[in-house]
């Protein structure tokens, strides 16, 4: 496994455990992206949280903001992740600078992936591959989709949904460039966040 294949997503709420372990996780040099996904916060509190995390990250991983390109642009973060119900890629590009990362949720759809690539997405997120505690999902993806993407698309693929130490290799072997983790890292009953990350060897 390449050193930086981890696409880390924040827990839904930030606590002392998060701020204790985030610097340790970054220090491993395993994390390529950190997506800040805090849907329950007001924009004011979200900005405060991003500012705090940005100081910890200190440009050592790519900082991606979920859903809010205007906040990502305002705080000069590395990029933004948009879903199918959010702004379009074209609208997001108008808000973000041209060199910024724009990731797009494509669920389990080849059509959505082809469209996102056409309009210049930086990466494509497929899932959910397995059962996940992080959010309810009605889309189920499988490794054959990763094989298709690897063969037909030039844009890097992030696999998401229920990924853990027992199934992550299957996704990488079938063409995912990055594996997204949230609950496995932050809500693991067996390992602390650092030990959980170290299982993904």
Per-domain residue ranges of the chain: 6-199
State residue 3's pLDDT score: 78
Superfamily of 6-199 according to CATH: Aldolase class I (3.20.20.70)
By the 8 A CB rule, do 64 and 89 touch?
no
Quote the pLDDT of residue 166: 97
Give the whole-angstrom CA distance, residue 53 versus residue 156.
Answer: 25
Token pair for 112: 């959505």
> Is 100:76 a contact under the CB 8 Å cutoff?
no
pTM (two decimals): 0.95
Q: Is the pLDDT of residue 132 over 80?
A: no
Give mean pLDDT, residues 105-126: 97
Identify the band that residue 2 occupies on the pLDDT scale cut at 50, 70 and 90.
Answer: low
CB atoms under 10 Å from CB of 154, counted, come to 6
Q: What does pLDDT average to over the chain? A: 95
Which pLDDT belongs to residue 201?
87
| pLDDT recorded at residue 8 | 98
| 21-25, 37-41, 84-88: which is most confident | 21-25
- Dig out the tokens for 20 from the structure: 């204790």
Average pLDDT of 53-60? 96
- At residue 168, the pLDDT reads 97
* C-beta atoms surrounding 156 within 10 Å: 15
Secondary structure (DSSP) of the chain: --TT-EEEE--SS--HHHHHHHHHHHHTT-EEEEEE--TTS-HHHHHHHHHHHHHHHTTSSEEEEES-HHHHHHTT-SEEEE-TTS--HHHHHHHS-TTSEEEEEEET-HHHHHHHHHTT-SEEEEE--S--SSS-------HHHHHHHHHH--S-EEEESS--TTTHHHHHHTT-SEEEESHHHHS-SSS-HHHHHHH--
Q: What is the per-residue pLDDT for 135? A: 62
């Amino acid at each position: 496994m390449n050193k930086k294949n981890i696409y880390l997503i924040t827990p839904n709420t930030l606590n002392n455990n998060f701020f204790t372990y985030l610097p340790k996780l970054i220090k491993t040099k395993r994390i390529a992206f950190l997506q800040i996904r805090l849907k329950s916060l007001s924009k004011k509190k979200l900005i405060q949280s991003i500012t705090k995390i940005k100081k910890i990250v200190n440009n050592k991983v790519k900082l991606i903001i979920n859903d809010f390109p205007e906040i990502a642009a305002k705080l000069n973060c590395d990029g933004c992740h948009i879903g199918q119900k959010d702004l379009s890629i074209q609208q997001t590009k108008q808000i973000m600078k041209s060199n910024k990362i724009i990731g797009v949720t494509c669920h389990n759809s080849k059509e959505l992936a082809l469209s996102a690539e056409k309009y210049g997405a930086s990466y494509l997120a497929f899932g959910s591959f397995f059962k996940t505690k992080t959010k309810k999902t009605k889309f189920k993806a499988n490794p054959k989709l990763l094989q298709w993407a690897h063969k037909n698309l030039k844009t890097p693929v992030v696999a998401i949904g229920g990924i853990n130490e027992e199934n992550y290799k299957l996704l990488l072997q079938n063409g995912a460039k990055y594996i997204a983790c949230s609950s496995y890292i932050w809500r693991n009953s067996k390992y602390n966040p650092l030990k959980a990350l170290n299982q993904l060897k």
